[in-house]
DNA sequence: AATGAATGAGTTTTCATTCAT
DNA sequence: CATGAATGAAAACTCATTCAT
């Protein structure tokens, strides 16, 4: 109780404030993601987010300039996670025989869209046109990646790898998104995966130069 | 200008009572569509809609119980228009040789998604989950229609016409939507249409029983 | 079709328009009374009244300067009716022996409050302070009437007939209004009437000079 | 005043967090009561209440879910106050000789109705049928209380204490309310109080079994 | 830094009233 | 005169954001 040198912070315990701040930021973003996924964009008010995160509304604004910034960061992390999943799911793709590689590709695209489907949906809804940038950029990367893979597989003799890659990525992405919305239980269905594989193979055949 | 002239009704005021009202309703819906398409869902406040329609806010509520009802009617008309476009674009599909039929299908799906792409996008965004019903039902109809066409073409010998139809419709739809969002100028591109045709042909080949 | 002297109203056909106008006014007031009684003051919008009366809102404003005027007229008629009921119910009061006269008074006050209890209630609620004038004036008349009756019955030897009349009229009125609100089914109860008679008799005894 | 002073909390800020909020709530309710009493129910809009309370409309909604909740709380406090006044005014009633007890009862009922007569009136007006519950319940309690007092005074030999109590409470209540509305200055008049006492005594005599 | 009370512009919606036909 | 479409002021309520403590 002598209270000598109160709180002098002798040694800055490894990111003492840093650590707490990080926790707070994480809690806020997690709360935002949960509300968005569970109750939709309209329910994700800043006050609701702060409440669910267990912090005061003031603290929320300590870490995010405004609501917009919060959502942007949420998107950023979501994309980051999708990228991580993608990287893992595509590892070793180039080394596999074609049929196996395509199966892997289908699995990868499916996996990417399942990272947080409800949240993904809500973000699409909540994001005004022009703010989908981050997600769109991710898809563009994916398209480039697939295009490169097509180029690398010389034996495929794809006439226009860029076009074909766009075609495939967008078609499969839209297919999965629509299915997630209308028949979410079907997304894992092996029959669907097989059909997708067939679609890719058929498309590649028709895309030869 | 003496008394006798009275009662002659020089020009029979067209739709004297209903007319004005109908014009007002149309103006409101048109304004709503424009704002949604141009500025997004958040900008489509009832006040903004009334202002752009050139009517008072009171008039808006004379014809629509609430904002929700207005959007619902907008969706209804949009779907109606898509259906009309689709019917026209698919006329005579069954009588054509396969390649021509597929070209027509691609053109039809493209046309449907181009009815009012910005509005379509905005409606998707504006509609809370579960209220996309009308649009989803339309897509379901389209899937059923394509499935039937696959059955009718006995020579195609499609193993699972339902699955294949879903696959094709959702994939093409997603492809077009994504392209509309990211590269709207490409949607009419013949190269894209050809690639889509190839995708369909390849997919059908791989879907034989 | 000659249109000579348009609308000179040659002989003012016995209130030709008058008659129809009167019907319209009656319909409007009846509609207002019904809505007020059945759905309360908030539901009695001018548009709702016009609709229920089967006339256009424009016509309503043809006959009433504003909503206020309509309600005022409604109150006037209501009071008029209460006065008619009262006059009938009090006929011959002075000629009866005291006990019978008091029973008649009780019956009269009860009858007056039952003219249109729901409407009465709604009017009380709907009328801002200061606009209860008409009803208050009616009660004042009733008090004066009872005071005179007390004076006429010399044998009662009431010390302050004015005070006693006020006391009785207000007490009985309040009693009936409260009972109407809380136990409407009891208002006709003979036991209650007897108790009220007892109250009056006891009060008169105690009010002797 | 150097740094060490920190944490000494010179004056323990009274109710540091709750305090401000409580003051705001009180100010809002006080403003509502004033407007209701002075200008009537229609004038008591949420905006007007907030303005008079000197707080923003947002603050009002921070503490009350909606206008309804605010009015409900106002009624609750008003009834609470009436109950407190009543309890004080009736203390020791049972121990007094009859005449004194009746004088006390008259005084008590008068006092209760004078707690905030204008507000009381306005609340009656503002509350839609069926929402007077709280006030009606209070009156019912009062009736029960008086009925019990009549039972306790065996010498009175009241035939139907319940009926007589209802009769008295409602009659006196109505009398006072009407007088408050039409001749507010008379409510304290000793002559009126004496007349009321006479009315009670007379009524009790006539109510013997 | 954290807190949460306070803010107020902006949104939806209602309803008395007007006025062109 | 009747009609009903149109008006717009005003009410209830929300929510992103600020700021004193």
Buried b (16+ CB within 10 A) or exposed e, A71-102: bbbbbeebbeebeebbeebbeebeeeeeeebb
**What would the two tokens of residue A138 be?**
């991710």
> What are the tens digits of pLDDT across the range C104-139?
999 999 999 999 999 998 888 777 766 778 899 999
> What is the Cα–Cα distance from C139 to C173, expressed in whole angstroms?
9
* Among B42, D132, A41, residue whose Cα is nearest residue C177: D132
| pLDDT tens-place string over residues D165-178 | 999 999 999 999 99
- Highest mean pLDDT: which of A11-15, B132-136, B171-175? B171-175
Query: Helices B98-113 and B133-152 meet at what angle, rounded to 10?
Result: 180
Q: Which residues in chain B touch residue C6, judged by CB atoms under 8 angstroms apart?
A: 3
Average pLDDT over residues C47-60: 97
The pLDDT value given to residue D16 = 43
Packing angle of the helix pair B46-53, B67-90 (nearest 10 deg): 60
Nucleotides of chain E within 7 Å of a protein C-beta?
1-21
pLDDT over 50 at C8, yes or no: no
Which CATH number is correct for C74-206, 1.10.357, 1.10.760, 2.60.40, 1.10.3860? 1.10.357
Cβ–Cβ < 8 Å for C77, C172: no
Where, residue-wise, is CATH 1.10.357 in chain C?
Answer: 74-206
Query: CA C30 to CA B103: how far, in whole Å?
Result: 69
In tens, the pLDDT along A135-155 reads 999 999 999 999 999 999 999
Closest alpha carbon within chain C to D173: C174
Statement: residue A1 has pLDDT above 70: no
pLDDT given at position D45: 97
pLDDT digits (tens, 9 = 90+) for A87-125: 999 999 999 999 999 999 999 999 999 999 999 988 887
pLDDT tens for D73-115 read 999 999 999 999 999 999 999 899 999 999 999 999 999 999 9
The per-residue pLDDT for range D35-72, each reduced to its tens digit, is: 999 999 999 999 999 999 999 999 999 999 999 999 99
Q: How far is the CA of B58 from the C1' of F10 (A)?
A: 13
CA distance D81 to D85: 6
User: How many Å apart are A6 CA and E13 C1'?
Assistant: 58
Task: Determine the angle formed by the axes of helices C161-182 and D161-182, rounding to 10 degrees.
Answer: 110
**CATH code 1.10.10.60 region(s) in chain B:** 17-64
Could you give the percent of chain A with pLDDT greater than 90?
A: 80
List the nucleotides on chain F closer than 7 A to a protein CB. Answer: 1-21
Task: Specify whether the CB–CB gap between D179 and D192 falls below 8 A.
Answer: yes
The CATH 1.10.357 domain(s) of chain A lie at: 71-206
Can you give the pLDDT at residue C87? 95
Determine the pLDDT at residue A15.
Answer: 41
pLDDT score of C132? 76
The yes or no reply on domain A71-206 and CATH 2.30.30 is: no
C-alpha C148, offset from chain centre: 21
For residue B3, pLDDT over 50 is answered with: no
Query: Which has more pLDDT, C189 or A12?
Result: C189
Two structure tokens written together for B6: 């009275």
DSSP string, chain C: ---TTTT--SS--SSHHHHHHHHHHHHHHHHHHHHHHHH-GGG--HHHHHHHHTS-HHHHHHH-SSHHHHHHHHHHHHHHHHHHHHHHHHTTGGGS-HHHHHHHHHHHHHHHHTSSHHHHHHHHHHSPTTS-HHHHHHHHHHHHHHHHHHHH-GGG-BS-HHHHHHHHHHHHHHHHHHHHHH-GGGTT-HHHHHHHHHHHHHHHHHTB-
Q: How confident is the model at residue C17 (pLDDT cuts 50, 70, 90)?
A: low
């860029």: which residue's tokens?
A162
pLDDT in tens, A171-198: 999 999 999 999 999 998 999 999 999 9
Which of these CATH numbers, 2.40.33.10, 3.60.15.10, 1.10.10.60, 2.40.30.10, describes D16-64? Answer: 1.10.10.60
The answer to whether some atom of strand F lies closer than 7 Å to the beta carbon of A68 is yes
CATH level 2 (architecture), domain B17-64: Orthogonal Bundle (1.10)
pLDDT at D130: 67
Can you tell me the distance from the alpha carbon of D139 to that of D167, in angstroms, rounded to the nearest whole number? 12
Contact (CB, 8 A) for D129 and C40:
yes
Rounded mean pLDDT of B126-137? Answer: 80
Percent of chain D residues topping a pLDDT of 90? 79
Q: Which residues of C63-89 are buried (b: 16+ CB within 10 A; e: fewer)?
A: bbeeeeebbbbbbeebbeebeebbeeb
Question: CA(B57)–C1'(E9) in Å?
Answer: 19
Q: Give the pLDDT of residue A19.
A: 76
Q: Name residue C158's beta-bridge partners.
A: C208
Q: What is the residue-averaged pLDDT of chain D?
A: 89
Question: Is pLDDT of D126 > 90?
Answer: no
Q: Flag whether A touches B (3+ CB pairs, 8 A cutoff).
A: yes
What span, in angstroms and rounded, lies between the C-alpha atoms of B122 and B33?
A: 9
């Amino acid at each position: 109780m002598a209270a000598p040198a109160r709180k002098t912070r002798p040694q800055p315990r490894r990111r003492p404030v840093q650590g707490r701040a990080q926790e707070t930021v994480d809690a806020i973003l997690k709360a935002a993601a949960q509300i968005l996924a569970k109750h939709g964009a309209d329910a994700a008010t800043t006050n609701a987010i702060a409440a669910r995160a267990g912090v005061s509304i003031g603290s929320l604004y300590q870490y995010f300039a405004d609501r917009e910034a919060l959502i942007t960061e949420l998107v950023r992390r979501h994309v980051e996670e999708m990228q991580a999943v993608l990287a893992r799911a595509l590892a070793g793709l180039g080394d596999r025989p074609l049929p196996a590689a395509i199966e892997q590709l289908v699995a990868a695209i499916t996996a990417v869209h399942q990272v947080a489907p409800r949240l993904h949906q809500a973000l699409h809804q909540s994001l005004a046109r022009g703010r989908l940038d981050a997600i769109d950029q991710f898809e563009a990367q994916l398209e480039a990646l697939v295009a490169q893979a097509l180029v690398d597989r010389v034996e495929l003799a794809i006439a226009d790898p860029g076009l074909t890659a766009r075609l495939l990525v967008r078609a499969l992405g839209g297919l999965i998104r629509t299915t997630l919305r209308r028949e979410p239980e079907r997304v894992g269905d092996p029959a669907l995966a097989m059909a997708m594989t067939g679609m890719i193979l058929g498309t590649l055949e028709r895309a030869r130069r």
